[in-house]
Chains A and B, each alone.
Chain A
Amino acid sequence: MQKINWLLKMAWRDSRRNRGRLILFISSIVLGIAALVAIDSFGENLRTDIGNQAKTLLGADIAISGTKAAESTTLALFDSLSTEMSTRYDFASMVNFPKQEKTRLVQVIALDGGYPYYGKFNTVPEYNEAQFQGGQHALVDKAIFTQFKIKVGDTIDVGEASFKVIGEIISVPGRSSIGSAALPSVYIPMAYLAKTQLVQIGSRVEYSYFLKTPETENPDSIAQFLKPQLEKKLLRAETVASRQAGVSRAFDSMNQFLNLVGFIALLLGCLGVASAVHIYIKDKLSTVAILRCLGVSGRQAFLIYLIQISIMGLIGAILGAILGGLIQQILPIIFQEFLPIENITTAVSYTAMGQGIIIGVVISILFALLPLLGIRKTSPLRTLRASFEESDSRFDPAKMLVYLLIALFVIGFAYLQIGDLIASVIFAVGVFLAFLILVAVAKIVMFLVRRFSPVGWSYVARQGIANLYRPNNQTLILIVTIGLGTAMIATLFFIQGLLLNQVALTGEGEQPNMIVFGIQPEDKNAVATLAKDYELPLLQQVPIVTIRLEKINGKDKKAMKQDSTRKISRWVFNREYRVTYRDTMTDSEKIIKGEWYGDMNDKDPDKIYISLSDRIADAMEAKIGDELTFNVQGVRMKTIVSSVREVDFTRMQTNFFVVFPTGILEEAPQFNVLVSRVPTMEVSAKFQQDLVKQFPTVSAIDISQILESVEDILNKVSFVIQFMAMFSILTGILVLISSVALSKYQRIRESVLLRTLGASRRQILFINALEYFALGALATLTGLLLSFIASFLLAIFVFQITFVPNLWGSLLVFIVITGLTVFIGMFNSREVLNKPPLEVLRSEI
């Protein structure tokens, strides 16, 4: 007991004159823990909020929807099961804004009844059901209000009918504002839908029925009861519970990205702890040697510093948790637009804080242990010989144990955050390899510099370079720290750039920018003629048939579900396939397996050979020769997979999961798509107006117009990505600052000595600058190289985008990090330069 008291006392006393250094050590874990706590509390609050507001996500007890309208018997059934019911039809259509002389594609939503039963439409002026249903009225999304500067009281044309705008929609239950910005909606009363003449046979409409069930009934059991009858009618039912699960799942992937960011910030913090403690302890070895001389055991000396570091880690973790709690207050503001619920709680999550603090302490101890363990072996002989360096190459089981624990921690934590064991192991192995490469680089540099020291150089230059390998050098630790830090920061920076570029690229260059769809077969030639009248090129004209998948190799969805050997995604059966037929491939396609078939006309009509894109083939686990049974608008059709194509989906053109040969689908109900390029916004607007006038069911998307409204979304997305990445980058920079700043103690005696021997200010600055420049440049270059490899692998295997090395970005990273290293290095020597040598020695050591 007394021993522990003494150890605590010694830890306290010894820390008094090192507070500055210990604060640098703390700083590297504060941000990492802050990111973690902020992200965790945010996630936890969001989950609770989704639970609490679940009913408003759906707006009703049961929602039934499908691509076919319910028949009168089914409607009667709904009616018998509910106390109230609303019907909603949605479809995409062009809407004309005559006052603004603008046309654009919107989501038209026809509604009757008292929906939403939970939550409410948030409109300006306030929503009043009776008023809305009482005439040819429209409610218009705020995105359109901003884009076209329309006002309440304006008239808009939807198909053949005109509607008076009576309100601006601010938010609707269950929809995120980002979602509405991409395809903004216009609400009209169901009673006037027929007047628009937009809903005809073959139109793509989503039919929904919202039921409010009696309070005494359980909506889930009603939904369960309805299920078999709905499936026959191609309808599906959703309840509050199932919607909640769906929203939570969708939110999970966002959370995963955030978790990854938090994890990287934390890893950088670990790196900071390891390097700060390493440098700190190196400086403490002489004290340890004296203690050993006076009879302190290795274990006691080790404990003194372990206590010191643990307490500092605890303080850092607590500060980090508090900071995280504060940052957590702003996350909901940043993410608000992405979320389908309103008013996210910003309550402090004490579980998240507690976890953060525990993780902070564990990290501090775990990553401090490696350098700390060296204390046990410190020889008291140091007291007799000033720079006695131990040759400590013996096998130390304790060190091995720490390495093992660190590996387990990295893998385990990665697993918690990514949720994939193999990915976590790959990640940990990757970090370890990067570490080894940096160690190798440092050793090679030291060897080369020692072997080929520049003979002809001036004394100061030689001294600066020689500092890289002389005793007490900091080459290894700084190259590893700066290199790993750079690699992580640059990877994040590059990936972020690649992701953002990806979206921006779509609207540029000679790529097509207008898609006209919903063209009925009989209008096909007339639409083409209209386009030609506007001198628009007919880049592509494709027929599209909507079909569903029924069976794979004779097994339907149910049978597949029971087959535990196959893990086929559910959506493979649930989705509608929009397929085309043609005899040739486009230039964005490439056959990777099997053979392209093309033309059916004079071949065996029972063998329909189709082509799948690689992604859908993977999802179906389909191989060449497998049999797929499709339902083509009521007609069952057996097909055989003859080829798998690689498709560049990033190209702005019509791409298809499934392509049929010609000679099969020509007679099936279908519509056509025309792809073109409009030269200017004016031509685009005129053409679209003409088009809608002549062919009311046809829709056109002008990519540049979409981009305009999507730009806002993109800016918000990139802001979110950057905001989160900033956490990690800031931590990295702090780690860099603290490692370099701590390293000053290695050189301070020497600088003072040189100063005493009469070295000028410039000479000392030059020696320091050269050493730090060499270290910074080498470490940054290696780090950049590692980040190229990492971003290349991530781009190809995780994000599935092409990797383009960002050379200007690399140059920027190089200049910033090397510059920062040199700057802090020089900043370190300022004291030596501005104060008398003796004063420096007395205050610093």
Chain B
Amino acid sequence: MLFICLEEIVLITTQNMSTILKVNNLTKTYNTDSNPLTVLNNVSFSLNEGDTFSIVGSSGSGKTTLLGLCAGLDRVSNGSVELNNIRLDDLDEDERAALRNKYVGFVFQSFQLIPTLTALENVMVPLELRGEKDAAKTAKDLLNRVGLENRHHHYPTQLSGGEQQRVSIARAFSNRPKILFADEPTGNLDEATSQKVEQLIFDLNKEAGTTLVMVTHDLELAAKTQRVLTLKGGKVISDVVN
């Protein structure tokens, strides 16, 4: 049933190639103890539904900050972010949370599973939050899809890093997001595990037609996306379409 839905979405998205994320002259400044620190300087780009996009740059260049702003996890200092044609700075925290539940999926470098919930329950959270009836069934399907048939009732601390990241991917896709944000999803994993996780993200992304925004410093991985944005010291130094 899930896959029927996904097919429908693919149909819709391919028919209607609208803008999903629009970033306009984005600037982010932190007020530190001594002097203001500009972390992002006048960043602009826009993405269509179904695009795959990566942000690269050395450590400290502002990648995570940019991702957080795009997902509405933080407030901009200047400029604007529009997600699904909705300006994020017009919304309050709770409205942005509701927006995320509807359109956004997340995969983090440090997995960020809720330690007190089992793998299955972690995946169920976004579904239950929407009040979906078959939350457990959908979540089980997704866990099976990422290869964790036997680990439904394990707590995060009982899983390896790769397994935790797979749970987190299942959770990210559980609400059938329009856009998936991933912050160095393989940063904490060994090479072989990284390969598997990357493959999962790309596969699920294709199946669901989700827009993918991925932060990475792995240029090889970045090359697999349609478009690569390079940051340096908070400025865009290149924006290449592969």
Partners in one complex: yes
A residues within 8 Å of B by Cβ?
2-3, 6, 9-10, 13-18, 286-287, 290-299, 379-381, 383-386, 841-843, 845
Docked pose: A380 CA to B73 CA in angstroms = 6
Q: How far is the CB of B153 from chain A (nearest CB, A)?
A: 12
Least CB separation from B171: chain A residue? A294
CB-based contact A14/B131 at 8 Å: no
The answer, among B112, B131, B155, for a CB contact under 8 Å with A293, is B112
CB-based contact A14/B129 at 8 Å: no
User: A291-B125, A295-B100, A298-B94 are contacts. A381–B116 as well, Cβ < 8 Å?
Assistant: no
Q: List 26 A-B contacts (CB under 8 A).
A: A2-B131, A6-B128, A6-B131, A13-B116, A14-B116, A14-B117, A16-B116, A17-B116, A287-B114, A287-B116, A291-B125, A293-B73, A294-B100, A294-B106, A295-B129, A295-B175, A296-B125, A297-B93, A297-B98, A379-B73, A380-B100, A381-B73, A383-B108, A383-B112, A384-B68, A384-B73
B residues within 8 Å of A by Cβ?
64, 67-68, 71, 73-74, 93-94, 97-102, 104, 106, 108, 110, 112-117, 121, 125-126, 128-129, 131, 155, 157-158, 171, 175, 183
Chain A contacts of B68 at CB under 8 A?
381, 384
CB-based contact B67/A295 at 8 Å: no
Chain B contacts of A845 at CB under 8 A?
115, 157
The answer, among A17, A299, A842, for a CB contact under 8 Å with B94, is A299
Chain A contacts of B67 at CB under 8 A?
384
Q: How far is the CB of A245 from chain B (nearest CB, A)?
A: 58
CB-based contact A294/B74 at 8 Å: no
Chain B contacts of A6 at CB under 8 A?
128-129, 131
CB-based contact A9/B73 at 8 Å: no
Q: How far is the CB of A52 from chain B (nearest CB, A)?
A: 54
Q: How far is the CB of A748 from chain B (nearest CB, A)?
A: 13
Q: A295-B175, A298-B94 are in contact. List 11 more A-B contacts (CB 8 A).
A: A14-B116, A286-B112, A287-B115, A292-B93, A294-B101, A294-B106, A295-B126, A296-B101, A297-B94, A380-B100, A385-B64
Docked pose: A385 CA to B60 CA in angstroms = 13
Q: How far is the CB of B53 from chain A (nearest CB, A)?
A: 18
Docked pose: A167 CA to B212 CA in angstroms = 100
Chain B contacts of A14 at CB under 8 A?
114, 116-117
Chain A contacts of B71 at CB under 8 A?
293
Q: How far is the CB of A120 from chain B (nearest CB, A)?
A: 66
Chain B contacts of A294 at CB under 8 A?
100-101, 106, 125-126, 129, 171
Docked pose: A297 CA to B101 CA in angstroms = 10
Docked pose: A13 CA to B120 CA in angstroms = 12
Q: How far is the CB of B216 from chain A (nearest CB, A)?
A: 15
Q: How far is the CB of B32 from chain A (nearest CB, A)?
A: 11
Chain A contacts of B112 at CB under 8 A?
286, 290, 293, 383
CB-based contact B98/A298 at 8 Å: no
Q: How far is the CB of A345 from chain B (nearest CB, A)?
A: 47
Least CB separation from A18: chain B residue? B116
Q: How far is the CB of B232 from chain A (nearest CB, A)?
A: 20
Docked pose: A2 CA to B101 CA in angstroms = 16
User: A293-B73, A293-B112, A384-B64 are contacts. A3–B101 as well, Cβ < 8 Å?
Assistant: no
CB-based contact B100/A841 at 8 Å: no
Docked pose: A10 CA to B73 CA in angstroms = 23
CB-based contact B115/A383 at 8 Å: no
The answer, among B99, B100, B113, B157, for a CB contact under 8 Å with A842, is B157
Chain A contacts of B106 at CB under 8 A?
293-294, 383
User: A6-B129, A298-B94 are contacts. A379–B74 as well, Cβ < 8 Å?
Assistant: yes
CB-based contact B116/A296 at 8 Å: no
In the complex, the 9 A-B pairs of residues with the closest C-beta atoms, listed nearest first: A295-B101, A842-B157, A297-B94, A17-B116, A295-B100, A380-B73, A14-B116, A2-B131, A383-B112
The answer, among A9, A291, A297, A386, for a CB contact under 8 Å with B110, is A386
Interface centre among B108, B117, B175 (most CB of A within 10 A): B117
Interface centre among A15, A297, A298, A299 (most CB of B within 10 A): A297
Chain A contacts of B73 at CB under 8 A?
293, 379-381, 383-384
Chain A contacts of B129 at CB under 8 A?
6, 294-296
Docked pose: A385 CA to B99 CA in angstroms = 21
Docked pose: A381 CA to B108 CA in angstroms = 12
CB-based contact B74/A381 at 8 Å: yes
CB-based contact A9/B114 at 8 Å: no
Least CB separation from B183: chain A residue? A384
Interface centre among B67, B101, B116, B155 (most CB of A within 10 A): B116
Chain A contacts of B99 at CB under 8 A?
295
CB-based contact A293/B100 at 8 Å: yes
Least CB separation from B115: chain A residue? A845
Least CB separation from B132: chain A residue? A2
CB-based contact B131/A295 at 8 Å: no
Docked pose: A444 CA to B103 CA in angstroms = 48
Chain B contacts of A298 at CB under 8 A?
93-94, 97
Chain B contacts of A15 at CB under 8 A?
116
Docked pose: A297 CA to B97 CA in angstroms = 6
Chain A contacts of B155 at CB under 8 A?
17
Chain A contacts of B64 at CB under 8 A?
384-385
Q: How far is the CB of A830 from chain B (nearest CB, A)?
A: 20
CB-based contact A295/B97 at 8 Å: yes
Least CB separation from B125: chain A residue? A294
CB-based contact B158/A842 at 8 Å: yes
Interface centre among B94, B102, B108 (most CB of A within 10 A): B94
Docked pose: A54 CA to B74 CA in angstroms = 73
Chain A contacts of B115 at CB under 8 A?
17, 287, 845
Docked pose: A429 CA to B116 CA in angstroms = 40
Docked pose: A268 CA to B121 CA in angstroms = 37
CB-based contact A9/B116 at 8 Å: no
Least CB separation from A386: chain B residue? B110
Q: How far is the CB of B120 from chain A (nearest CB, A)?
A: 11
Docked pose: A13 CA to B164 CA in angstroms = 19
Docked pose: A379 CA to B104 CA in angstroms = 17
Docked pose: A386 CA to B64 CA in angstroms = 12
Chain B contacts of A17 at CB under 8 A?
115-116, 155
